[in-house]
Structure 1
Amino acid sequence: MSRILITGIGAFSAIGDNVAANRQALISGQSGIRTLSNFPSRYAGSLPCGEITRSTDELKQSSGIDDPGVTRTSLIALQALREAITDAGLTPEQLRSSDTALINASTVGGMCLTDELYHDANNDGLAGSPFLSSYDNASVTLFLGQHLRIGGIQNTINTACSSSANAILYGARLLRHGFARRVIVGGADSLAKFTINGFKALHILSANPCTPFDAGRTGLNLGEAGAYLVLEREEDCHDKKTYAHCAGYGNSNDSYHPSSISDEGEGPFLCMQRALEAAQLTAGDIDAINAHGTATENNDETESRAMIRLFGTPPPFLSTKAYTGHTLGAAGALEAVFSILQLQYQESYPALRFNEPIVSTGLIPSASYRSLPVTHIMSNSFGFGGNCSSLIFSAV
């Protein structure tokens, strides 16, 4: 069976406007988590988030877009997607081809414009709202597809925080079954009142920069980002530059609780196990793990237990959410890009703000930046409702 190769990557997050800037922040241990400043919220100046510093107006100007109904989510997505397309050398003709697919992920979609739509709905003299067409989870996909004139299959995936990991999984399956010749996969989410207030109601937002896998962790920080990968079959790549191949993937559902994983991490264990089986690898073959690591009480302990159950002594691991915040629908793709960078440059990044291991597991994430031989790396993404996905990327 033909290998699925990654021929292009793009990333836009709180630690960088492009892939190179993101990597430099990871190498230097520079976090993008700071108190809200651009985002209009009652928590401005107090709540730490992985906020992209460029305003929505600046993003519109740099993108050449002035439509008031285009969301911040779509603008973030467009910047990352353009980088991935350019990196892969895709031509306008290829984008328009019926064998080019776009699989996009988002948890919030256009609901970052909730206030604008609400005010329009209560304006008796208004015939229609420019924000109505954006108020849909698929609006980002529709915008990207129309703006770039994607000619093939287009789909939106929303499985909470595993959304863009599942977009990668789904895109790889499209290629394997011959439904596309190239697939652009990834996701985007922006900060929104809908998200912040919702997570605040769950009492899982930390008042301080998050501390994944630390015994004293107090919750997660939300973030915003866009990240995309271009997937192609090996026989179609010819002399193209390639970063890695998507060697395996696994999905499971913990089916335990709407917002928590079972105590033994059954869902995380199963998806990691299935990814290994799909890649025809053993646990000992994995050289590094980019963990889901939200810094919530439930996730970090259950993910640790699942890693111990599968690996015994896990390979070097960390959660890059300490850099970017939890970027929701973008997290799986963003962390896939970070994993691919580890493969490409044979390196490990420092876990930020870690002090003491969780008593029940004793696991200690990577302490500092260092060279690390990496042939196979696993990236984990777990979503509300127990939807758990693991991806394995391997050197070409």
Structure 2
Amino acid sequence: MEGVAVTGMGIISAIGRDVEEAHFSLKIGKDGISYPEILSTIHQNLPVGEIKLSNSELSEILKLPEDHAYTRAALLGVYAIRELLENSGLDHFPRDTGFISGTSVGGIDKTEQHFYNYKESAADRKYIQAQHPGFTTEKIAEYFGINGMVTTISTACSSSANAIMMGAQMIESGKLKRVIVGGSDCLTKFTLNGFNSLKILSENKSRPFDNEREGLNLGEAAGYLLLEAEDQIAGKNILGRVVGYGNANDAFHQTASSENGEGAFNAISRALKKAGLSPSEIDYINAHGTGTRNNDLSESVALKRVFGDHVPEFSSTKSFTGHTLGAAGAIEAIFSLLSIQNGKIFPNLNFSNKMAETNLAPVTEVKSKHIETVLSNSLGFGGNCTSLIFQ
């Protein structure tokens, strides 16, 4: 078989605490956008895709000791991987299991909470390391006893998509037999304040690809896939396959995509080449679609450059979850696999009017369709763009 097999997946997001709940929300068009309750912020007017579980509640569910040093992103990551482990048919991860995790801000939530206490409080100094994204990955690996290849990718919004790509490459090259790939990111003051300073957050629910779109809603999530080599999958339930991937960096701007969509165009083109597919063989596109003026125009231009007048049906599921940054590529990979498994295109919520520049319209209602091949885009700050193709 072509491609790398997916044999397990787990997710937690604002639309559900497992794959089944997330799928149900997608099917009925129920978003998870609300106002901040767990995150302490002055920006109570900004909608977010927040998971309504406190860190203490997550810690209790995961049976962690009171003095643990897990960041919120680590807690979410462990939560999602517990589901992955359960539905993969394994009772534990074998010693040769690798772990590649993407995150945008890692444990900055703990830096915000304890920074001013480090000098006086020795107990809080355990969180100094949390500033590094790799600390969150190491804590997740520690929980599951993963001691093999463990690494972190932090390329902003394409982080977990790049983790999936790297994992597939490691399987194909024979360097790993089995690898957990995906990512986790939580809401923080740093990200909410930072995106607000860029003037790209909306005070309303986001409207990806709409002509009157006002900006994005931030979210938090964790999503992970288990990838396995062909000689490991006999008798296992194959959830789908990673058949193509491509990464490009147009280095156009620190926080904006190029007007001609060069990064996205190159990433999609490379993914198609890797998969050995023509553009006409893509049945559905899970678009990056953040709802910002810049991203949606740039991505739309890239789609027209690749597909011409025959752009496949597409939608952005960020209207359900908010933009979950480093976790976005992974949770949208799961949504892409759900589309294939169930023959459904999940809708682009809150859309009314086509963009004047490209005249493209996303799918706005749940649609039944035979789907064999899905393209999923993740376009990051700095122009780091990644496209994945699933079958």
Please tell me the TM-score bracket, short chain as reference.
Answer: over 0.9
| Aligned positions of 1:184-263 closer than 5 A | 184-263=180-259
Q: Deviations over 1:116-152 (max 9, x none)?
A: 32121242x6476232232321111101111101132
Equivalents in 2 of 1:324, 1:27: separation in Å? Answer: 14
1:84 counterpart residue number: 84
How big is each residue's C-alpha offset from its partner over 1:297-320, in whole Å with a ceiling of 9 and x where there is no partner?
Answer: 010011001101111221110000
CA deviation string 1:13-38 (max 9, x = no partner): 00000000001000110010111112
**Residue 68 of structure 1 contacts residue 130 of structure 1 at CA under 8 Å; is this kept in 2?**
no
TM-score w.r.t. structure 1 length? 0.96
Aligned 8 A contact 1:114 1:194 in 2: no
Structure 2 residue aligned with 1:28: 28
Query: What's the offset of the Cα at 1:228?
Result: 0.2
Residue 101 of structure 1 aligns to a residue whose secondary structure is strand
Aligned to 2:137: 141
Contact kept? 1:219, 1:296, Cα under 8 Å: yes
Aligned partners of 2:107, 2:67: CA distance in 1, in Å? 14
1:1-396 alignment runs, 5 A limit: 3-44=3-44, 46-65=45-64, 66-92=66-92, 95-97=93-95, 99-123=96-120, 126=122, 129-312=125-308, 313-394=310-391
Q: What is the number of equivalent residue pairs in this alignment? A: 389
Give SS of 2:126's match. coil
Looking at structure 2, the residues matched to 47 and 2 of structure 1 have their Cα atoms a distance apart, in angstroms, of: 44
* CA displacement 1:6-64 (0-9 Å, x = unmatched): 000111000000000001000110010111112111113x2100000111111111111
How many Å apart are 1:2 and its aligned residue?
5.9
Partners of 2:129 and 2:385 lie apart in 1 by 31
2:164 is aligned with what amino acid?
I
- 2:85 counterpart SS class: helix
How many Å separate the matches in 2 of 1:134 and 1:255? 28
SS at match of 1:129: helix
Partner Cα separation in structure 2 for residue 192 and residue 68 of structure 1 = 20
* Greater mean deviation of Cα atoms: 232-241 or 206-215: 232-241
Deviation at 1:3, TM superposition (A): 3.2
Q: How many angstroms apart in 2 are the aligned matches of 1:228 and 1:86? A: 13
Q: Output the amino acid matched with 1:314.
A: V
How far apart are the structure 2 equivalents of 1:4 and 1:86?
Answer: 20
CA distance in 2, matches of 1:127, 1:7: 40
- The percent of aligned pairs where both chains have the same amino acid is 43
TM-score after normalising by structure 2:
0.97
What amino acid sits opposite 2:5 in the alignment? L
Quick one: distance in 2 between partners of 1:68 and 1:183?
26
Q: Name the CA distance, whole Å, in 1 between partners of 2:11 and 2:123.
A: 38
Hey, what's the Cα distance between the residues in 2 that align with 1:54 and 1:126? Answer: 28
What is the deviation of 1:68?
Answer: 4.5
Q: Indicate if the aligned counterparts of 1:6 and 1:246 stay in contact, CA closer than 8 A.
A: yes
Letter in 1 for 2:232: D
> In the aligned structure 2, how far is the partner of 1:60 from the partner of 1:121?
23
Secondary structure of 1:274's partner? Answer: helix
Is residue 68–residue 131 contact of structure 1 (8 Å, CA) maintained in 2? no
Q: C-alpha separation between the residues in 1 aligned to 2:126 and 2:242?
A: 40
Cα distance in structure 2, aligned partners of 1:330 and 1:76:
10
Secondary structure, aligned partner of 1:172:
helix
